[in-house]
């Protein structure tokens, strides 16, 4: 297994928590190259992200050839990132390259930067009294204002009741997302478990009208928290397929970058270190991990188009923004690094 201490040298690997680094290391490898040897070729499908550990390489694209030495500031970033290699990499001196699983890294970045909280307060802002009518609580939420009336009727008709006794686990951290839940009676607790399973931290308590479980359904990632019944709980649940068709789609409107208008504000939800290396002109950096703390810095009547490099982190951000009543659209599939303007 690759030594996880290597991850601390590179962006965005350094942002991962130790447990995620350890898991990613199991799917990573170190490969040595001789001078003149091709590491990868321009245009080939990139199933991994590559990072220069030792030595010197040259990146060759249609316009230029860039020499890169291990330890240089530019070497902190992935080599020719994207779904397909944007350049050919050739070893100039004996070199060592770290390869990490691209898809797994993207999932971990989205999961960790979503904020570690699997619950949304759909009934309103802090301090609002909890309503006894769970349907009214949902219908009064900003999220449901964006859902077509026909969808709302189908949402309620597609839900099924389930019950849990006090102490029973409703969803478990690390499990795949299968249902979206709404509390109709009783009270539940949201807890974050440490990777070793030795302790846990309470994140929130949920009463009538509170929904949870949607983040895993939006991103396709595992549950990032555990929800447990504090009292006997009655809930309504909506399957993943129904959630995607009736609720997710209206809250994830898409946009094409080529149709960008002057009145639209671009939001880049990647890490600041990724943003600083390059981004779309005029974009504002609102990292996914900080998004909830920056809601009050956004303008209610401004239209936002949101992007990252793959579309995964930006999809979670757009759902959260629209759920809070903002007007946000997803640039589907992300923006390739080749389109970013370099920042000096």
Encode pLDDT of 41-99 as tens digits: 999 999 999 999 999 999 999 888 999 999 999 999 999 998 899 999 999 999 999 99
What is the structure's pLDDT at 252? 86
The CATH code of the domain at 4-111 is 2.60.120.10
Q: Do domains 4-111 and 254-342 have the same CATH topology?
A: no
Number of C-beta neighbours around residue 66 at 10 A: 15
Is the pLDDT at 249 greater than 50, yes or no? yes
Per domain, the residue ranges of the chain are 4-111, 114-251, 254-342
Answer with the residue of higher pLDDT: 104 or 261.
261
Average pLDDT, the chain: 86
Under CATH, which number does the domain 254-342 receive? 3.40.250.10
Looking at domain 114-251, does it have CATH number 3.90.1640.10?
no
pLDDT band at 132 (very low <50, low <70, confident <90, very high): very low
Q: Summarize the confidence of residues 100-112 as an average pLDDT.
A: 81
* 46 closest CA partner among 74, 19, 6, 86: 86
pLDDT value at residue 63: 85
pLDDT at 105 over 80: yes
pLDDT digits (tens, 9 = 90+) for 6-36: 999 999 999 988 878 888 998 899 999 999 9
Mean pLDDT of 286-314: 91
Q: Is 239 a residue whose pLDDT tops 90? A: yes
> For residue 269, what are its two tokens?
């939800």
């Amino acid at each position: 297994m690759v030594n996880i201490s290597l991850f601390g040298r590179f962006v965005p690997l350094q942002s991962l928590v130790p447990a995620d680094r350890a898991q990613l290391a199991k799917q990573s490898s170190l490969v040595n190259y001789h001078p003149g040897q091709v590491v990868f070729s321009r245009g080939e499908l990139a199933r991994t992200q590559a990072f220069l550990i030792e030595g010197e390489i040259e990146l060759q694209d249609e316009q230029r050839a860039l020499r890169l030495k291990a330890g240089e500031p530019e070497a902190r970033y992935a080599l020719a990132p994207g779904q397909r290699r944007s350049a050919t990499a050739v070893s100039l001196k004996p070199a060592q390259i770290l390869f990490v699983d691209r898809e797994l890294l993207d999932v971990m970045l989205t999961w960790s930067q979503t904020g570690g909280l699997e619950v949304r307060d759909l009934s309103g802002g802090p301090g609002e009294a909890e309503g006894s009518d769970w349907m009214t609580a949902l219908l009064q939420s900003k999220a449901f204002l964006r859902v077509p009336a026909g969808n709302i009727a189908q949402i309620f008709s597609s839900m099924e009741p389930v019950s849990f006794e006090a102490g029973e686990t409703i969803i478990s951290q690390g499990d795949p997302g299968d249902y979206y839940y709404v509390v109709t009676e009783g009270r539940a607790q949201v807890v974050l478990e440490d990777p070793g399973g030795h302790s846990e931290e309470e994140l929130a308590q949920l009463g009538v009208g509170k929904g949870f479980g949607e983040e895993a359904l939006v991103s396709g990632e595992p549950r990032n928290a555990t929800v447990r019944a504090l009292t006997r709980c009655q809930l309504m649940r909506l399957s993943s397929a129904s959630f995607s068709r009736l609720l997710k789609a209206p809250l994830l409107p898409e946009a094409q970058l080529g149709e960008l208008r002057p009145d639209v504000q671009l939001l880049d939800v990647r890490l600041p270190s990724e943003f600083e290396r390059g981004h779309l002109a005029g974009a504002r950096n609102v990292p996914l991990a900080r998004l909830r703390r920056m809601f009050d810095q956004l303008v209610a009547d401004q239209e936002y188009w949101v992007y990252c490099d793959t579309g995964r982190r930006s999809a979670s951000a757009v759902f959260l923004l629209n759920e809070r009543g903002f007007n946000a659209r997803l640039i589907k599939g992300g923006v390739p690094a080749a389109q970013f303007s370099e920042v000096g």
